[in-house]
Amino acid sequence: MQTYNRLKPVKNCWVSHAKNGKGIIRQVMGGIDGVTIKVHWKNAAFGQTLVPLNSVVSGLEVGMEVQYVPMSKTEAFLGEGIVLKTREVAGFHQALVHFSESSIIRWLPYERLAWIKGVKHRFCTNDFGDDASPEIFRLKVLANAIENWNENTGSLSRLPIDPLPHQVHLVHHILASGHLNWMIADDVGLGKTIETGMLLKALEQRGQAERVLLITPAGLTAQWKEELHNKFGLSKFRIYGENFNIEEEREWGMYKHVIGSIDRFKEEHHLEKLLRAEYWDLVIFDEAHRLSRRQYGMKYEASHRFQLANYLRGKTKAMVLLSATPHQGKPDKFQSLLMLLNPDRKEEIDTLALNPEILSEMMIRNNKSDVTDLEGNFIFKGKTTKSIRVTHDESMKHFDMLLQSYLRKGYQTAREMGQIGNAIGFVMTVYRKLAASSAKAINKALNNRKFRLIEEACTLVVSDELDERYTGESEEQQLQALQGKEFFDGELEQLDVLIAESEQVLRNDPKLKEFLEKLIPSILANHKSEKILIFTEYRSTQNYLKVALEEHYGVGCVDLINGSMKHQNRTEAIRNFEDAGQFLISTEAGGEGINLQDKCHIMINYDLPWNPMRLVQRIGRLYRYGQKNRVVVFNLYSPESMDDQIMELMHERIEQVVGDLSSLSGEFNERLSEDIMGEVADLVDVENILLEATSDGITRTRERIEKALEKAKSAASKQRELFEYAAGFEPYETREELNITLEHVKSFITGMFKLLDIEIIDKTHKDLIWQIRLPEELAIDLRVRRTRWEITFDRKHYTNRRNCEMMDLDNFIFKYLIEKAKSYEFGGLTASIGHMPKLEGAVVCSYLRWQNAQGLRQRQELVIIHINKDEDIVMNTQDFCDWLRSDKVISYENSRQNLKDLFQKIEQKGLEVLQAKSNQLLHPEGVFPIAGGLFYE
């Protein structure tokens, strides 16, 4: 081959010469006569000589460890790898190299491959470095351990709070399973948003989240975007229909992280556009229980939402479903959700009752009763519910009697008209709910009805797929739009009487008086600035209460949130309530997704929703992780109203059923009762009982309640039995792994600062905030102009300080330190360490790696395999984990002889663990050592 066509080889490149044999290049020189290389020959007889470049070819051998040297600074750095094969093509010599970290295998010109001494070579040839090696060894292991722990848990990412053990476990369990098709079914308030963000951060680090689609209820799109940005640094997400629209199919290529409303995407026009997008790496459905498909005999009836999910199943590699209530007492609906996750396992899912153990491979669920903090303390402080009885005065009793007469005529007309009368029945039902909510709400509705009677008729359309949390506000809006003729003869005259009587009630509203003059003062008696969350279904009641509270406690003391508000306005209202406000009045839709546990623990339900699950969801705004106090809930009700009487009876009986189911060995378990309350509330059908109560007496209604609760109790028991098979928090699952904490992170950063001459100028706020100064050379490497920085390890301080850098894996300084310590040039591949009696023996730190059937990496785990002085082989010991935090590392001269034998034993142990954790989804890729050391007493 002509010399001018050849690449110049790099230093430490192996070559082969026809006469001298093989050798390693020590220097490359150019001249008039062409390129000359200085080679140190393997045959000592030839020593070190100069030869022309065109007199040598590749000297690489299979198994050699090499480093790819880029031809320019702009070229990608491939790292270190192992030669698998060599070949000659058209006179060019190449090597097939496996780069284990990136899992890349490529044919490369041998001239760009520098021979290196890997861990095994150094260990077995007694090359344990100099006196600095032990500390460099420690920092190298720490850098890999920190990065790997975050890759497997997402727990070292930018989070607003320290993740709880169950959240770390959940992400670790999913990522260790070999697939991403999971239903996350944690209880309300356990942090499914945090878990999802941690999962996405871990997948981002793995390079497995290039294209992500997140589908949520309409009212939560902006909140999801904001939380993913603020809490996790996931800032690429854009909301379809708000931040961008798609005109042409090719435009999808510009949007790889998308959030969209489920009710927007299910519409044919938007669905058609969505299905033209490229494949997604991951599709996530929030509130997945809204994806409804029911089975009737051999036929299925699927909602538009379910059809949307089913279409997307064919456009994604993986799907995650989020739902606190996935079953809802409907096995066919639950199994349909499981089939979305695993369409290939239809036959197994169809017979779920016979093989419920398969649930552990597709559903993970944590209950409030089991969740603890990092110290093992249960995090939920309990809940107290008090019913506040409102006594009707004569005016209220008279109005209620007249209203019941009006409602009976309306319902009777609806029944006589058949299907055409459904709209009338709907109006009557809404009037019942409004009357139970507040005198103002029903007064306003009746006035609107009277006003509309003179206008032309229109038909009410009620969506079957309406999000129930928007029901109250939607009902009010539909009533305002209602026009038409009288529902029955004499309706207008009855409306006049009802309106007059309702205005009489408003002058001395007994429910408002109980609320303002007794309940609120009793709450504020011990703490005048106590913050109170107030819930109502209807905006008319919301505004009524706002006016009343501000008359008593001053203008500006009340903030409102409801479904008509933009996300930004809701956020501002919540911020004002938590800072300077005292009362926050929320509708069902307004309260969707809000978390108020930090500053509030008292709730008043001014009205009670007909669906008891919505009451559980209301309480979930306060009764969630981060709540430091016992939650206190006050429910206002009137025993003289039949609807209120039924609701109170229902809640009383639900409490009794929950108490029965919560008793273990005869002892009541309060923490367990909160889990069961949500399950029973979700299963009992109260709305139908209340609808039928118009024609039934209270005795008959009581019988219906008992039957409904017995059915719900039975369903809850069966559901709990089934969910026992779901995966859940197992504290021992990660105990055998190398668990990394904030103390490890601090120790790593401190050690790297010393090594790189980064000056710590000052430490304040109990050593949580550091002032540092970077060397000029390092600032240039980092491409920053200033050298002085403020850093912190504390998430709260980071949030509250504008110019403070959070030391996590999203930070540019931290990333630099990690990459620096992991690099081959950093050193620390081997070390001999003294004064370590608990660790005496040989230690090798290796990655165990698994891939899927297509050869794509699915999982890697860093293991520390230790042969102690008694020749026992142990893994990931607490002693070694503690040593990684140590700042006193001392070198020691090696005196061991059987190094090759020791390394082989450790290597064999790694292979055994690799095999034990392999399965149909996880196929062994190999064991890859990154550092090895000898410890002496």
**What is the CATH number for 298?**
3.40.50.10810
pLDDT of residue 667: 44
684 part of a folded domain? no
Asked if the structure places residue 655 within a domain, the reply is no
Question: At 462, is the pLDDT very low, low, confident or very high (cuts 50, 70, 90)?
Answer: very low
Instruction: Give helix 670-683 / helix 698-723 axis angle, nearest 10°.
Output: 120
Structure tokens at 506: 């408003």
Write out pLDDT tens, residues 434-456. 999 999 999 999 998 888 886 65
Interval 849-865 mean pLDDT? 93
Listed residue (119, 73, 66, 110) closest to 89, CA to CA: 110
pLDDT tens string 495-514: 999 999 999 999 999 999 99
The confidence score (pLDDT) of residue 480 equals 58
Phi and psi for 587 in degrees, rounded to 5?
-85, 175
Q: What's the confidence (pLDDT) of residue 93?
A: 95
Using CA atoms, how far apart are residues 355 and 363, in angstroms rounded to an integer? 14
pLDDT of residue 402: 94
Examine the pLDDT at 245 and tell me if it is beyond 50: yes
- Average pLDDT, stretch 369-386? 80
Q: How far apart are CA 60 and CA 24, in angstroms?
A: 10
Average pLDDT over residues 621-626: 86
Could you tell me if 332 and 476 lie in one domain?
Answer: no
Instruction: Determine phi and psi for 189, rounding to 5 degrees.
Output: 95, 0
| 561 contacts 539 by C-beta, under 8 angstroms | no
Q: Is the pLDDT of residue 327 over 50?
A: yes
Same domain flag for 132 and 170: no
Question: Could you tell me if 151 and 233 lie in one domain?
Answer: no
Q: Which of the two residues, 698 and 865, has the higher pLDDT score?
A: 865
Instruction: Report the residue count for the chain.
Output: 937
- Greater model confidence, 570 or 695: 570
Residues 465, 594: one domain?
A: yes
Q: What is the CATH number of the domain that holds 562?
A: 3.40.50.300
pLDDT band for position 138 (50/70/90)? very high
For residues 468 and 588, what is the distance between their CA atoms, to the nearest angstrom?
9
Burial annotation 12-45 (CB, 10 A radius, 16+ → b, else e): bbbbbbeebebbbbeebeeeeeebbbebebeeee
800 falls within a domain: yes
Q: What is the pLDDT of residue 232?
A: 86
What CA–CA distances, in Å, run from 809 to 84, 205, 518? 33, 9, 53
> Would you say residue 805 lies in a domain?
yes
Mean local confidence (pLDDT), 81-100? 95
Whether residues 476 and 338 fall in one domain? no
Task: Give the separation between CA 832 and CA 896, rounded to whole angstroms.
Answer: 10
Is there a domain that residue 814 lies in? yes
What average pLDDT score do residues 834-838 get?
80
Is residue 292, in this structure, part of any structural domain at all?
A: yes
Q: 187-200 pLDDT, tens per residue?
A: 888 888 889 999 99
Instruction: Give residues with Cβ within 8 angstroms of 855, minimum separation 6.
Output: none
Structure tokens at 233: 């640094």
**Average pLDDT score over residue span 764-770:** 88
218 confidence band (pLDDT: 50, 70, 90): confident
Query: Are the CB atoms for 180 and 174 separated by under 8 Å?
Result: yes
- Report pLDDT digits (tens) over 640-687: 777 777 777 776 766 766 666 555 444 445 555 555 566 566 666 666
Q: Looking at residue 631, what is its pLDDT?
A: 92
Q: What is the pLDDT of residue 460?
A: 47
pLDDT in tens, 48-65: 999 999 999 999 999 999
Would you state the pLDDT for residue 461?
47
Q: Where does a domain end: 316, 346, 362?
A: 362
Return d(Cα 158, Cα 635) in angstroms, integer: 39
Q: Mean of the pLDDT values across residues 321-339? A: 87
User: What average pLDDT does the segment 543-572 reach?
Assistant: 92
Q: What is the pLDDT of residue 670?
A: 53
583-586 vs 631-637, strand pairing mode: unpaired
Domain annotation covers residue 690:
no
Residues 257-315 have pLDDT tens digits of: 999 999 999 999 999 999 999 999 999 999 998 898 877 666 677 889 999 999 999 99
Asked whether 501 and 442 are in contact (CB, 8 A), the reply is no
Contacts of 822 (CB under 8 A, 6+ apart): 140, 143, 144, 147, 930
Residues sharing a CB contact under 8 Å with residue 616, sequence separation 6 or more, in sequence order? 188, 677, 678, 681, 682
Residue 814 has phi, psi (to 5 degrees) of -65, -45
In a shared domain, residues 183 and 130: no
Q: Are 259 and 221 in contact (CB under 8 A)?
A: yes
Q: At 322, phi and psi to the nearest 5?
A: -110, 125
- Of residues 806 and 162, more confidence is placed in 806
Does a structural domain hold residue 700? no
Q: Give pLDDT, residue 298.
A: 63
Q: Of 595, 627, 647, which residue constitutes the final position of a domain?
A: 647
CA distance 797 to 794: 6
pLDDT digits (tens, 9 = 90+) for 874-919: 999 999 999 998 877 777 776 667 899 999 999 999 999 999 999 9
Q: Write out pLDDT tens, residues 772-790.
A: 999 999 999 999 999 999 9
Residues 366 and 373: their CA atoms lie apart, in Å, by: 14
Of 584, 613, 647, which one is at a domain's C-terminal end?
647
Q: Give the orientation angle of helix 812-822 with respect to helix 133-153, to 10 degrees.
A: 120
Assess contact for 140 and 821: CB atoms under 8 A.
yes
Average pLDDT over residues 412-418: 86
Residues 823 and 750 in one domain: yes
Are 729 and 165 contacting, i.e. CB atoms less than 8 angstroms apart? Answer: yes
Residues 444 and 592 in one domain: yes
**pLDDT score recorded for residue 457:** 46
For the chain, how many structural domains are there in total? 4
Residues 786, 915: one domain? Answer: yes
Domain boundaries, position 506 = 386-647
pLDDT at 625 over 60: yes
Q: So what's the pLDDT on residue 737?
A: 82
Is the pLDDT confidence value at 825 over 90? yes
- CB count within 10 Å of CB 901 equals 12
Distances (CA, A) of 48 to 45, 52, 293, 667: 9, 13, 78, 85
What are the backbone angles phi and psi of residue 48, rounded to the nearest 5°?
-130, 120
Structure tokens at 533: 């969350």
Cα separation, 571 vs 226, in Å, equals: 10
Give the whole-angstrom CA distance, residue 722 versus residue 683.
15
Do 749 and 859 belong to one domain? yes
Check residues 754 and 653 and name the one with the higher pLDDT: 754
Question: Could you tell me if 143 and 54 lie in one domain?
Answer: no
Please tell me whether residues 805 and 887 are part of one structural domain: yes
pLDDT of 522 over the 90 cut: yes
